[in-house]
Structure 1
Amino acid sequence: MEFYGDYHVHCRASDGNQTVEEIAEVALQKGLKEVAVTDHGPLAAVIGVKNCDVYLQLRKKINEINSRDLGLKILLGAEANVRDFKGTLDIDKEVMKSLDILIIGLHPYTLPTSIADGLNLFLQNSLRHLGKKERAKAVKNNTIAIIEALSRNPEVDILSHPGLFFNVDIEQVAEACRDNQVLFEINCGHEYPEISDIIKAERVGANFIVNSDSHFKKTVGDLKYGSKLVESLGIKPERVVNSLHMGGNIEWKRKMITFKYS
């Protein structure tokens, strides 16, 4: 399967090792029509942006590059962090308005909104290796956190690497993606989720997006893992929104398909 764009890429604003210009250069070399710069939210320790103003600075940079008419559209996104069981994200609503794409996910070392959330979500997740009981509790809590975040934030477009770092009930999460029109990501950088989880997500009717989660120049647009996977599973191109077959007609929540430079 070939792809129209790669919609999960990190630059130096968070934990990526590449500039926006370098991302655009490699994306063009790979034959992509679109690429999204989606840096981590500010409350993920070490890997997050300094603050939300960074996204506004990136918007100006991306608009300037897009104005050169390179034959590639760069979109601005963010990979926001889920902080609690109420769907709280670490990017405020005003900043979201400046984004083209919003990705969310659970990441270790995210600042929770309360001590209780820190104990019951993040600490409990770190205890999942201690036995079946602790793992089951972590899976339940992680699943609740993701489902609440999907249902309470209608701006969300993509759920990043479902189940990575934080085990979840994949069927319940995939159903929530389906019901909230959120794309279930096949993450080529981490080669995740597992094949069995993708099969479950396909069966319940979730739609997919294949992304690189690139942090280095050479991996921008490297979607071979996802291509082989969806082909081997017989997933139809129309279920993979960034397949070349779909021609880039992705209905992002902020309706930025007809992107205008400013």
Structure 2
Amino acid sequence: MKLIGDYHTHTIYSHGKGTIEDNVNMAIERGLKEIAITDHGYGHFLYGIKKSRIAEMKEKIANINKKQDKVKVKFGIEANILGFDGRLDVEKEILDSIDIVLAGYHFGALSKNFIDDSIIHGRNLLGRYVTYMDKKNKIINTDTVIKAMYNYNIDILTHPGDKGCVYMKEVAKAAAETNTLLEINSSHSYLRVEDIKIAMKEGAMFVINSDAHRPEHVGVVERGIKRAIEAKLPIDRIVNVE
């Protein structure tokens, strides 16, 4: 199983350690055909990109694509899922103007609704230590994620279940219906093997990404591939391997 595209990488525009050029050069070195630069949406108060720099990033990527043809570079954003209504922290007009849209739930992503933020983040943080909250948290998180997939044209749902537990069957069914890829993240442990097995049965399609925050981690997806193999996931259900 060989990776041909890595669609989840970060740079110094959010909290990555390398430049766009660094990630692209590593993608070329690894023999990838495509790479996406997908820094965090600006709703993340610690790591979000600056909205004012989106045009600059687009221009850099366009210039890189003009100068070389070894790897196709896509500009994307890993948007943050906010609130109970499944809204994202990036406006639809901007999402419609980029090459690839990723979305996931992250601690530290703040909406303009303090009550929503407090309840969702608070419950998910406490839920890591208070097991009786799991069922209610799963209901809330699942509903929120599903609404996001139906409200926006999301290409990839990143590390589903990692920061907030979900009912994978329902999430996978919605992903299949909305043509949203479920990510097997090689930096996080989600999707887990058991999640992949459940999602397979619901007809979902998958992508294996590095979620690289350093250039040297671009294209490093052995952990994700190992889980896919363990789950007996057919290669034709993974869009970026051959």
- The answer to whether TM tops 0.5 is yes
**1:195 pairs with one of 174, 193, 196:** 193
Q: Do the aligned partners of 1:104 and 1:160 also contact (CA within 8 Å) in 2?
A: yes
1:52-201 pair list within 5 angstroms: 52-153=51-152, 155-201=153-199
Q: CA deviation at 1:89?
A: 0.8
Q: Measure, in 2, the Cα distance between the counterparts of 1:186 and 1:129.
A: 21
Cα-to-partner distance string for 1:23-68 (whole Å, 9 max, x where unaligned):
1110011010100000000111211112x23222111000001101
SS of equivalent residue, structure 2 residue 87 = coil
SS of equivalent residue, structure 1 residue 78 = strand
Q: CA deviation at 1:240?
A: 0.3
Give the match for residue 46 of structure 1: 46
1:177-256 pair list within 5 angstroms: 177-244=175-242
Q: Measure, in 2, the Cα distance between the counterparts of 1:156 and 1:15.
A: 22
Q: CA deviation at 1:231?
A: 2.5
Q: Measure, in 2, the Cα distance between the counterparts of 1:129 and 1:16.
A: 26
Q: Measure, in 2, the Cα distance between the counterparts of 1:103 and 1:197.
A: 19
Q: Measure, in 1, the Cα distance between the counterparts of 2:162 and 2:140.
A: 14
SS of equivalent residue, structure 1 residue 189 = coil
Give the match for residue 30 of structure 1: 30
RMSD, matched Cα = 1.3
Q: Measure, in 1, the Cα distance between the counterparts of 2:222 and 2:128.
A: 31
SS of equivalent residue, structure 2 residue 169 = helix
Q: CA deviation at 1:175?
A: 1.1
Q: Do the aligned partners of 1:82 and 1:90 also contact (CA within 8 Å) in 2?
A: yes
Q: Measure, in 1, the Cα distance between the counterparts of 2:133 and 2:240.
A: 37
Distance 1:122 1:196, change over 3 A: same
Q: Which deviates more, 161-170 or 89-98?
A: 89-98
Alignment length (residue pairs):
242
Q: Do the aligned partners of 1:127 and 1:135 also contact (CA within 8 Å) in 2?
A: no
Q: Do the aligned partners of 1:13 and 1:49 also contact (CA within 8 Å) in 2?
A: yes
Q: Measure, in 1, the Cα distance between the counterparts of 2:213 and 2:128.
A: 28
Which one-letter code corresponds to 1:139 in the other structure? K
Q: Do the aligned partners of 1:11 and 1:19 also contact (CA within 8 Å) in 2?
A: yes
Give the match for residue 5 of structure 1: 5
Gaps of 5+ in 1: 245-262
Cα-to-partner distance string for 1:124-144 (whole Å, 9 max, x where unaligned):
212213533322222211111
Q: Measure, in 1, the Cα distance between the counterparts of 2:122 and 2:23.
A: 35
Q: TM-score, normalised by structure 1?
A: 0.88
Q: Do the aligned partners of 2:155 and 2:181 also contact (CA within 8 Å) in 1?
A: yes
Q: CA deviation at 1:191?
A: 3.1
Q: Measure, in 2, the Cα distance between the counterparts of 1:125 and 1:84.
A: 13
Identity across matched positions, percent: 35
Distance 1:129 1:5, change over 3 A: closer
Q: Do the aligned partners of 2:30 and 2:219 also contact (CA within 8 Å) in 1?
A: yes
Gaps of 5+ in 2: none
